[in-house]
Structure 1
Amino acid sequence: MTPSTTPSRRALLRGLLATPLVAGCAVGAAPPLALAAGEPGGFYVEFGELLGAALRAAGLPVAVVSTGGSVENIEQLRGGRAALGLALTDIALAARIGQEPFGALVPLQAIGRVYENYMQLVVRAEDPATGTADLAGRPVSLGAVGSGAAVFGDRLLAAAGIAADVTHRPLRDAVAALEAGAADALLWSGGVPTPALAELAARRPVRLLPLIEHLPQLRSRHGGVYGPVTVPADAYGPAAPVPTVGVANLLVCTPALPPATAGAVARTLVAAAPDLVPESALGTQYLDQRSLIGTGEIPLHPGAVAAYRELHG
């Protein structure tokens, strides 16, 4: 998807379904469901707010909650503080099998695969670094505590075989540190362009380091959750396309979510898809109808399965 083709895709999606979203679903009077999203300035919150508005319009009250990211979102689901959450596939899989950073397995299920996250390793434009290895021993912010980027950052350094002076700052703080010279790089996992990074690029030149060279090692160690993606040219100012690592983002829940509610959310993802794509989005990362059910090793919630079968046969 490029800015020139976005309108036609949205027009196509709008015409796909006219099915009532919550027919037969007595959830209108329920208290608001918490949707654990992500950090201010990132796409988790932006997408979460759009989804929350669509769900409320469909009669399903939802409150969007800012969090540190995927790990915290899953912890909120496990503790019953959230009903829905956004999570990277690699983090969701770690939760399903009880792998670190989770002390025990979390029986996650998915409502759908909603968009592609791009791993973005950002440096100042004048920095001499050309790859991850050039950051050895230097101050680097590898995502906020509780984020999927923080987990991926550890995996990235291990794959690259280097150590760095690592901190874990929230996105806004990491941007400020990079701009002030307190950090030489920041790692972010999100859509393109991420609002806070676009704002930074408008103030001072930055660029992304390619991460694709580490994909074979990452896949060897952590499976097929990671894949090749390319940050489009000019995403953050004049620059060539940058090959990097991508991982799908899922909308997840636990088996405690009632089937009728899961079905209503799934129908909203399908029928409201054109309204869930931020206007600034580049690339092909959002709500592809063909991949919505492609949640990999994270099983779909039975209520979502029933909804998709009803809609598509």
Structure 2
Amino acid sequence: MSAACRERRRVRGRSRAVAAAALLLAAAVGLGACAGPSAPGDARRQIAGGGTTGVYYSYGGELASVLHAQLGLDISVAETHGSVDNLNRVGDGRALVGFAQGDTAADAVAGRGEFADPLPVEAIARVYDEYVHIVVPADSDIRDISDLADHRVSLGAPDSGVQVIATRVLASSDVPLDRLDNPELGLGDSIEALQSGEIDGFFWVGGLPTPGIVELGEEMPIRLLPIGVDTVERVNAGHAGVYRIADFPVGTYGVEIPTATMTVPNYLIVARDTPKDLVTDITRTLFEQRPTIARQVAAAELLDRRQAIFTGPMDLHDGAVQYYRDARR
């Protein structure tokens, strides 16, 4: 990695530390005055989001705003590594709610994969479907997943759902991990490294469009590698059949070639012991404020009450069930 890239990370890390300190100070001042009657304990005043250039983070920020406006919750979005990190934060009480991929959520409730024991987490809603991105420069000689061998490819940040899916896709495509130089970068760092030529490609799993990749496509021509039906079927064979085949819409990120890929559902999750009335209020706000959130986050338009209840194998929280029952009346 170049000295310039290391310096960018050092400066960015310092900035994040300052921002985090400011957030903690603001929270300490405001906890007593801003929280509404349904507010949970102080340790849970966060929405577990993701990297700042991804959909989780932007969706979480808008959700925090409407929860504050509608319920008086003193809550903010937290930058995280993604699904695995989010599930752990919600499970141990560091976050009130969070976003998680359906495949990683299935592992969490079963206590397998990255989770040594089952986590006490449940779902509020199936929010939208995420698309698996494999991004390379448009002029790259990498044309297929098998071509990734012997290249520098980021499989996502540690404790991310991206890394879970990337390793499954590679295994189903007969690309051994030891044939890759994998620097384990989050989305923002992956984008920077691709722009500087320090990596040859990266995996990402997120809603459409992902803001950071939109910006990348505006700054340099990129291409998306296809993930075919056979690969999706092989991945599904060992992982609960949660994956589906889909196409990136033509024109996404400036890519004009139809590209097949794999999708996975995304859930909004909460700890099992979260008060029922609070979860009902959060679920109602999520749906009633969808138009407000969607003005800033396109993926919010995909929230559909008829589909939201399908979160298996993760159970719906009783508070969410109460909302869906009330909504049918």
TM class, shorter-chain normalised? Answer: 0.7 to 0.9
CA–CA separation in structure 1 for the residues paired with 2:258 and 2:296: 20
What one-letter code is carried by the residue in structure 2 that aligns with 1:183?
I
**Is contact 2:99-2:266 (8 Å) kept?**
yes
Counterpart position of 1:253: 270
Deviation at 1:257, TM superposition (A): 0.7
- Alpha-carbon distance, 1:33 to partner: 2.5
The aligned counterpart of 2:78 is: 65
State the distance in 2 between where 1:104 and 1:188 align: 26
How far, CA to CA, are the matches of 1:29 and 1:72 in structure 2?
21
- Asked if the contact 1:191/1:285 (under 8 Å) is kept, the reply is no
Query: 1:130 maps to what in 2?
Result: 143
1:158-185 CA deviation, whole Å, 9 max, x = no partner? 1111122222101111111111221111
- The one of 237, 256, 261 equivalent to 1:220 is 237
Asked whether the 8 Å contact 2:291–2:301 carries over to 1, the reply is no
- Work out the number of aligned pairs and report it: 288
Instruction: Decide whether the 8 Å contact of 1:215 with 1:227 is kept in 2.
Output: yes
- Structure 1, residues 102-136: CA drift from partner, whole Å, max 9, x if none? 11111220000111111100000001222101111
Alpha-carbon shift at residue 78 of structure 1 (Å): 2.2
Residue 145 of structure 1: aligned partner: 158
Corresponding position of 1:182: 198
Distance 2:72 2:320 in 1: 15
Matched with 1:116 is: 129
Q: Distance in 1 between matches of 2:204 and 2:92?
A: 26
Distance 1:280 1:237 in 2: 19
What is the rounded CA distance, in whole Å, between the counterparts of 1:110 and 1:206 in structure 2?
35
Aligned pair 1:311/2:327, yes or no?
A: yes
Match of 1:84 in 2: 97
SS of match in other structure, 2:105:
helix
Deviation at 1:29, TM superposition (A): 8.7
User: Residues 280 and 310 from structure 1, CA distance in 2 versus in 1: closer, same or farther, beyond 3 angstroms?
Assistant: closer
Q: 1:179-218, aligned counterparts within 5 Å?
A: 179-213=195-229, 214-218=231-235
Q: Provide the rounded CA distance (Å) in 1 between the counterparts of 2:235 and 2:148.
A: 18
Which amino acid in 1 is paired with 2:319? G
Partner of 2:66: 54
SS at match of 1:167: coil
2:52 maps to a residue whose letter is P
TM-superposed deviation, 1:278: 5.0
Query: Which structure has the highest helix share of the two?
Result: 2
CA deviation profile, 1:172-228 (whole Å, cap 9, x unmatched) = 111111112211110011111211111111111001001134101011111211111
TM-score of the aligned structures, taking structure 1 as reference length: 0.87
Query: Match of 1:107, as an amino acid?
Result: P
Counterpart-to-counterpart distance in 2, 1:29 and 1:295: 24
Deviation at 1:270, TM superposition (A): 1.7
Q: Which residues of structure 2 form unaligned runs of 5+?
A: 1-35
Aligned to 2:53: 41
Q: Which residue pairs with 2:246 in the alignment?
A: 229
Give 1:259 deviation, angstroms. 0.2
Mean Cα deviation higher: 207-216 or 285-294: 285-294
Q: Is residue 242 of structure 1 aligned with residue 255 of structure 2?
A: no
C-alpha separation between the residues in 2 aligned to 1:285 and 1:177? 31
Matched-pair contact (CA < 8 Å) for 1:46–1:278: no
The aligned counterpart of 1:293 is 309
User: Percent of counterpart pairs with the same letter?
Assistant: 34
Ranges in structure 1 where 5+ consecutive residues have no aligned partner:
1-24
| CA distance in structure 2 between the partners assigned to 1:200 and 1:251 by the alignment | 27
* C-alpha contact 1:159 1:218 (8 A) present in aligned 2: yes
Amino acid at match of 1:222: H
Q: TM-score, normalised by structure 2?
A: 0.83
In structure 2, C-alpha distance between the alignment counterparts of 1:276 and 1:246, rounded to whole Å: 22
Name the counterpart of 2:24: none
Q: Distance in 2 between matches of 1:111 and 1:119?
A: 23
- Counterpart-to-counterpart distance in 1, 2:225 and 2:284: 38
Residue 12 of structure 1 corresponds to none
How far, CA to CA, are the matches of 1:278 and 1:168 in structure 2? 32
Q: CA–CA distance in 2 between the matches of 1:151 and 1:185? A: 17
CA contact under 8 A between 2:84 and 2:104: conserved in structure 1?
Answer: yes
